[in-house]
Amino acid sequence: MADNIIEVTSENFVELVIKGSEKLPVIVDFWAPWCSPCKQLTPIIEKAVNNFQDKVMLAKVNIDENQSIASQMQIQSIPMVYAFFNGQVVDGFQGNIPESQVLDFIQKVSDLSGPSPQTKEKLEKLEASLTDSNWEEALDLSNIILDNDQNNIDACNGKILSLIGLKKFKEAKDFISILPEEILNDNRTKDLSSKIEVAEKSFDASKNFVHLEKALKDNPKDIKAYIDLSDAFFGIGKISECYQLLIEAIKIDPKWNDQEARKKLISFINSHDLNSEEAKKARRQLSSILYN
């Protein structure tokens, strides 16, 4: 048996299941040698929990040999499966269910424990790498975490951010396209989806940087030139210059093309860093223009 699969008796049930569930969720499989459905279900559960070595325990209880537990738990028929967490029953099911439902059940229970200590350590390193814009290292850490926990939302978002930072926009889009719905519906992931489009457009604009600078110099009142050059500045990481170009465009005509400059500025601020000094300054300037 795997390290996270144990046999439990009346003597150690409290210690291994009740108290043990204060450290990790414990799934208890009540079975008996004569139970044919148990012989079908138990291997499926064992196979599934083997994929969650650090996140869930499986305790097997033979009710023929441990009738006092079966009586206390009011087991009327088997197979019966309960999930314990923090000393309490939190979920369960009775009888044989499809393998896909068993997997969903174990995934749900394992999520109660949060990331393993090893994963927590890697997530901390990932956050530091992203803060330092160390995109290659962040991508490697994200992939390592996802190899063991494919639905870890922090690692998914870290991978997307890393790919954006490395200008691998197609890979970022491809990765997002295969994410499960619960991750796609997370607001952070939604924001990153928008950020890919902004970053890709800005990177493309940065390739024409010299041409865009000349266009603005030749037409200093051309708002479109300000907006195009702001894309290029954003693409090469000159955030302050990007914001100031858009502020100048708004000063010239805040309503131009359905307030395109203002909308562009807000989009850049939201996709970069809402709390940066550049963002705070730009928001103050924007308020001064629009409300004075």
The CATH architecture that domain 5-113 belongs to is 3-Layer(aba) Sandwich (3.40)
> So what's the pLDDT on residue 199?
85
> So what's the pLDDT on residue 2?
67
For residue 112, CA distances in Å to 92, 273, 284 come to 14, 31, 43
CATH H superfamily, domain 117-200: Tetratricopeptide repeat domain (1.25.40.10)
pLDDT category, 290, cuts 50, 70, 90? confident
Domain boundaries, the chain: 5-113, 117-200, 207-291
What are the structure tokens assigned to 259, written together?
């307030």
Of residues 1 and 51, which shows the higher confidence score? 51
Residues 6 or more apart whose CB falls under 8 angstroms from that of 141 comprise: 122, 125, 126, 129, 155, 158
Q: Please, where are the H alpha helices in 58-116?
A: 67-72, 99-110
Can you give the length of the chain in residues? Answer: 292
What are the structure tokens assigned to 134, written together?
């160390």
The CATH code of the domain at 207-291 is 1.25.40.10
> So what's the pLDDT on residue 54?
77
Fold agreement (117-200, 207-291):
yes
Buried b (16+ CB within 10 A) or exposed e, 223-249: bebbbbbbbbbbbeebbeebbbbbbbb
> So what's the pLDDT on residue 192?
87
Active site residue ranges: 35, 38
CA dist 145 and 156 (Å) reads 9
In this prediction the pTM is: 0.54
CA dist 44 and 39 (Å) reads 9
* pLDDT, tens digit, 9 for 90 and up, residues 192-223: 888 898 888 888 877 888 889 999 999 999 99
Of residues 178 and 111, which shows the higher confidence score? 178
* pLDDT, tens digit, 9 for 90 and up, residues 214-251: 999 999 999 999 999 998 888 878 899 999 999 999 99
